[in-house]
Structure formats: structure tokens, C-alpha cells
Amino acid sequence: MPVKAEVQRQPSLRGRPLVVAKSSGSQCVVLDASPEAAGVAAGMPLSEALSACAGATLVEPDPVHYRAVFDAVLAAIESLSADVQEEGLGQADVRLTGLELLFGGIEPLAEALLRTVPAHL
């Protein structure tokens, strides 16, 4: 989610290899990476990530911004379902039982969810 929030804030980063890295003790580790940052994964030491993708753009994490973006996503999901439980930044469980009746089936419900989340990222 951090990469999506950064691209939302800085559209010029779209389509570029992007790495969000944070300091963890004496080491810098990858928090999130864009798909274009081939070979880079969350939790990887930054030195290893830069070896895998030397041309990546590095961004410092902005937890306050990520929280605001995710809160907007949660609010949007809550407009579809009253039973939404946050499981951590960027993750939520949504109870969908019975909502297919309101949306005219499971497919329209899924489409509504898929439209709602990207509108905020």
C-alpha cells in the first residue's frame, strides 16, 4: 500500500521502479516496492534491493500519509458493508454475507468493491 499511496501523491512515479525503505536499527529495509522494481521484496535489506534494481527511486515512508489514505479506503468500503475490520495498514476483512441481495448478485457486489478501493489509491 505505501507504493500506491506514494504514486497517488506523486503521479510522476507511476510506471517507474519505486522502493519505499525504512530504517530498522542499523539497517535499512524495504517496506514496499512497485512491480517495476523487479527482484525487490518487502523485508529485503535496502543494499540487496539496490543490487537487484539499481535504477529504483527510493522514497522515505510517510506513515501519517499512509494512514490517511487507508482511512479513506476503509470509509469507502464501509459504505458498502457495515462489518469491516482492519487487520493492519493496507489490510481489512469485510463481511459480505447477505450483501449480494442488495447488489443483485455476487458479481455486482465484487465489481462495486473493486471500483471502490482503487478510487482511493
Q: What is the CATH number of the domain that holds 25?
A: 3.40.1170.60
Answer yes or no: do 38 and 84 share one domain.
no
pLDDT beyond 90 at 25: no
pLDDT beyond 90 at 10: yes
In the structure, what pLDDT confidence band is assigned to residue 23 with cuts at 50, 70 and 90? Answer: confident
Span 32-54, pLDDT tens digits: 999 999 999 999 999 999 999 99
Answer yes or no: do 51 and 40 share one domain.
yes
pLDDT beyond 90 at 89: no
Answer yes or no: do 70 and 46 share one domain.
no
- Residue 41 has a pLDDT of 96
Q: Which domain holds residue 19?
A: 2-61
Nearest CA among 87, 86, 18, 82 for reference residue 49: 18
Mean pLDDT of the chain: 92
pLDDT beyond 80 at 112: yes
Angstrom distance (rounded) from CA 76 to CA 119: 9
Span 59-70, pLDDT tens digits: 999 999 999 999
The residues pairing with 44 across neighbouring beta strands, listed in sequence order, are none
- Residue 90 has a pLDDT of 86
CB atoms within 10 A of CB 20: 23
Name the domain count of the chain.
2
